[in-house]
């Protein structure tokens, strides 16, 4: 995954109000202590719903 990729959430994150299938954008890539991706999820009006760090097994790039 790369910065600004569109990704689909593969797991439910109830504490963040997100369900599997939610679509977001990678806004930061962490390389320590392990690779992770900060993903921003927005509503239909562009307002941020959640911004959370996720691992590669929790999201998939949308083609």
Mean pLDDT of 24-39: 96
Q: How confident is the model at residue 63 (pLDDT cuts 50, 70, 90)?
A: confident
Question: Domains of the chain: which residue ranges?
Answer: 6-61
pLDDT of 5-30, one tens digit each?
A: 999 999 999 999 999 999 999 999 99
The CA distance from 4 to 9, in Å, is 15
The CA distance from 17 to 57, in Å, is 19
Tokens standing for 47? 């307002």
CATH assignment, 6-61 = 2.30.30
Predicted pLDDT at 36: 97
Mean pLDDT of 43-56: 96
Average pLDDT, the chain: 96
- Per the CB < 8 A criterion, the answer to whether 54 and 1 are in contact is no
């Amino acid at each position: 995954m790369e910065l600004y990729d569109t990704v689909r959430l593969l797991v439910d994150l109830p504490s963040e109000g997100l369900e599997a299938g939610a679509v977001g954008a990678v806004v930061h890539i962490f390389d320590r202590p392990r690779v992770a991706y900060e993903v921003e999820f927005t509503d239909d009006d562009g307002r941020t719903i959640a911004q959370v760090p996720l691992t590669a097994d929790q999201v998939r790039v949308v083609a």
